[in-house]
Chains A and B, each alone.
Chain A
Amino acid sequence: MTERTNTRALNAFAAMSRIPDDYVLAAERMLQEAEAGISRPQKPMGGFRRFLNSGWGAAVISGIVALAVLAFIIHAGVNPPATYEPPVKPAGSTIEMSTEGVNYTIATELEHYPKGATDITAVLTGKAKGESISTAGGGWHLERLTADRAEVVEIIYPCIAQMHEPHRDEYATLVCSMTALTPLASGTYRLHATKHDGEKYVSVAWCEFTVGSELYPPETENSPYNLSVPNTTYGSVNITVTATAKEKGEALPAIGRGWKVVKLAGHANTGNTGITILEYGVEAVDPPGADSYATYTESLILEDPSAWLPGIYRLHDLNSKGESVAHCDFVIYEEGYVPLSTEDPDHIVVPGIFLWADNTPMVVLMDYYDELYPEPNPTYAAVAVMYPILLVNDQRDGGSNVDLHSGSIVEVEIGKKLTYPHHGDLYALRVVTEGTLNDVNPDWLIFLQEAGYTIRDTADTESAWDKDFQSMLDNYTNEPYRFLYELNGETYGRIVSSSDSWEDAVRVCTRHFTDERYPQAINTVVDCTVIYESDILYGIHVQWEVTNHGTFSGRYEENVISFKKNVADITARNAVYDDTESFRINTHREDQIEQIILYLYHNKYRSHSILEHKMSHTDREYRVTIYAFDVIYGDWSVQNEYRLFMNTITVNKETGTVTFQEPIISDTIYQ
């Protein structure tokens, strides 16, 4: 192409930027769906397709299909599952119904979403084992159902989709995350997976979910018996459900005609979460005696335990019509979760607090969905373990939320019974946490102490900075925003994972910089040499080349650091191979710990310039407190903004785990 043609074509390509947004979004949606396997452009119609689309063709094919279905029903002697019957199309719906997806199943992540939710995740499961999902489709459609009509809810495309191509003994799954353009109002919603038949959208599978202000529907008052399932941990296979009569001497009816488990809260499920019955009970249980309760147990197997992610689940006992007659909740905890039972005086005890306008406090747990549980039970308390959020909601200034605590929750128990004028009797939660209190309002501490709680702030009170930020800034001579670190006369950049020898350091570094993500553009390491070694680290010089379509494109070089594994075992984040990172310090020499922490700090907060740092320790941890600043440069008449940060990094003496606490802005200067 000539230079002039190239310029003209580039200008034309640039001019395409100004086409209407709708066209760009629609195109992205089509591609996303196609790559997820649920959509493709329609081929031009051949003779047979034209026949199918003609009135006669449709009639003939419909007749054949109807006869085939009838023959199947007669032959099999069963009815198709009720859930797959096309529902009555409500007025206003633009989605035609089809029985094509009779064996597809579709489920949303939750059966009940809180009011105002926007994110929905749905799983479409294949028709048969080993069979791919292939519907020539128009993607997902969401309708809000009212008494007499359906309204389409716009959702943003493309959604994030994961397609699982099955082996012959697996079901295909398609997981899609989508976002509603407007927060969902209360009501019942129907989500369709659709195809486009050239003229209109046809639903091939659908499911319904509800949206409302209450996350947990009220208990079934008319349940004829009580159900219970013990809590379990991630990876468990068996669960045991127990039904107990409500009254002594009362017989139990037939139980367990069908079990259904739905998830109420927790991590999004992305796989099949079926259950099978391991051991059946009997049809009905006679009362064991006039003074005892009849019980019935059944063992269930959680199929594919890895798909049962930590969360709160509700087990329903279904009758022959598929209706829930009783239910109970159970928790699947994080793997390795061990509830603590002893009070550790080093922990900080901080319940959540709700402050009313008349200064009356209510001690509650505010959970994942920001609901209040004035009468918490262990099930709900467990939520706090998985989602360690503690807030103060201060109604006195309009209901703002304030993060109360940084750290982790290690124990939740139902606390003492409290009486408050707005809500009568309440049960407080005793929450044991490790970490620091954030900007605690003294009022809250008083309320807590009055309620019988112990507050023990173990933060190092000596770390408060008594110096003048302005004078420190005036005396600071280094270049702010100097990202790199000098070591033995060389400037060093990023930290790669730890290694245990020169050879290993070269291997780790080579792997870090080799990038073959893009088939046409490859990063190849051409030189990797250890140039420095100290008692804690290797300094490595690395050069790598980038090639495009096999043609040399550029060469880059950098000095990097790899800590010695026996001193600090660091896994550095590397998007090519591993997107996780971990920090563990094995040495107990404080000078080494301090130096490692400073390197890690530079690596993590590259825009910060360190003014001062202090090393201290308690019985349980080493603590490095760093004072640093960054600059937000102004332009024209806007002044530069200098922000002073206080940062605390701790190293657990026993485990070596490094914890970075969020930097706190202590001061701001404009100049």
Chain B
Amino acid sequence: MSRKSLTDTARGTLSDADIVALYLARDESAIEHTARIYGHYCLSVAMNILNSPPDAEECVNDTWLRTWNSIPPQKPTILRLFLGKITRNLAIDRYRQRKTQNKEFELTLEELAEILPAPEEDSDLPMLLAGFLEDLPAEERNLFVLRYWHGHSVARLAKAFRIKPNNLSARLYRTREKLRAYLTERGYHV
């Protein structure tokens, strides 16, 4: 007898594997479960970039559709991350198309624009970024990822970690300078 299924039914939640199984079986309830468990998370990922509730909600709805079309053939093991990446990419696309700007996100982009190479040179940039992050101390890497993957504002991070925004900005600046040096050593120039 399946213990897990009954327990989950009673609690109304499913594990990632169960939800992915629903997608694979083309069961539409997969989307309901996904939205209930990961809706807030995806919304926050989209909001960091778009900063507009209607846009973010549309973006999250697009995420469900993209997920439905992606599984199968894909079979993610950590659904949260899978959804987060889709939402992030959709939000970036949406941000490219719209005219209004998100000032906080613009700041994030400006910081990246100072150190990252031009688009035509960035073919192996993701691999280099991964190599750079691997060498960083865990804490410094986490802060960098929170700022430039998740797009969290300096204010939020500073409040969460109870440090002054200026101190956090300085730490991020030092990490960016390390990245600039790392890329320069490998022949990349901004």
**Which residues of A are interface residues toward B (Cβ below 8 A)?**
1, 5-21, 23-28, 30-31, 34-35, 40-43, 114-119, 156, 179, 183, 366, 368-370, 387, 389, 391, 393, 399, 401, 515, 517-518, 520-521, 523, 546, 548-549, 551, 553-554, 556, 632
Contact = CB atoms under 8 A, between A and B. Distances in A.
B26 to A, nearest CB: 9
Contacts of A523: 53
Given A9-B109, A551-B100, A15 B51 contact: no
Contact of A12 (B54, B112, B142): B112
Contact of B54 (A369, A370, A391, A554): A554
Contacts of A119: 11, 13
Nearest to A117: B7
Contacts of A43: 163
Given A1-B109, A389-B10, A548-B52, A370 B149 contact: no
Nearest to B6: A370
Contacts of A24: 81, 84, 145, 149-150
Interface in B76-127: 78, 80-81, 84-85, 88-89, 92, 95-96, 100, 102-104, 106, 108-110, 112-113, 116-119, 122, 125-126
Nearest to A41: B139
Contacts of B139: 30, 41-42
A150 B69 CA distance: 42
B161 A34 contact: yes
A404 B92 CA distance: 47
Given A24-B84, A546-B54, A8 B162 contact: no
Interface residues of B, number: 66
Interface in B134-157: 134, 138-139, 141-143, 145-146, 148-152, 157
Most chain A beta carbons < 10 A, residue from B3, B51, B89 = B3
Contacts of B108: 13
Contacts of A1: 106, 109-110, 113
Interface of chain B, main secondary structure: helix
B169 interface: no
Interface string B8-27: 01110101000000000000
B141 A23 contact: yes
B30 interface: no
Contacts of B54: 546, 554, 556
6 contacts: A10-B92, A35-B160, A40-B161, A114-B3, A370-B6, A515-B53
Given A41-B139, A369-B7, A393-B1, A520 B51 contact: yes
A517 B10 contact: no
Contacts of B163: 40-41, 43
Contact of A27 (B80, B122, B125, B149): B149
B4 A389 contact: no
Nearest to B159: A35
A11 B149 contact: no
Contact of A399 (B1, B52, B110): B1
B35 interface: no
A116 B8 CA distance: 12
Nearest to B139: A41
The 4 closest A-B pairs by CB, nearest first: A18-B126, A9-B109, A12-B116, A9-B113
A5, A116, A369, A546 — which one has the most chain B CB atoms within 10 A of its CB?
A: A5
A21 B78 contact: yes
B146 A27 contact: yes
Contacts of A21: 78, 81
Given A1-B106, A16-B148, A370 B2 contact: yes
A553 B52 contact: yes
Interface in B36-78: 47, 51-54, 78
A401 B1 contact: yes
B96 A10 contact: yes
A41 B161 contact: yes
Nearest to B162: A40
A12 B125 contact: yes
A357 to B, nearest CB: 13
Contact of A546 (B9, B53, B88): B53
A25 B10 contact: no
A5 B113 CA distance: 6
A115 B1 CA distance: 13
B181 interface: no
A15 B129 contact: yes
A183 B4 CA distance: 10
A19 B133 contact: yes
A607 to B, nearest CB: 9
Contacts of B129: 15-16, 18-19
A17 B53 contact: no
Given A23-B141, A26-B138, A554-B54, A13 B148 contact: yes
A23 B140 CA distance: 11
A14 B4 CA distance: 38
A370 B11 CA distance: 13
Given A27-B150, A553-B100, A12 B7 contact: no
A184 B51 CA distance: 40
A13 B146 contact: no
A41 B143 contact: yes
B109 A26 contact: no
B102 A9 contact: no
A419 B148 CA distance: 67
A291 B139 CA distance: 72
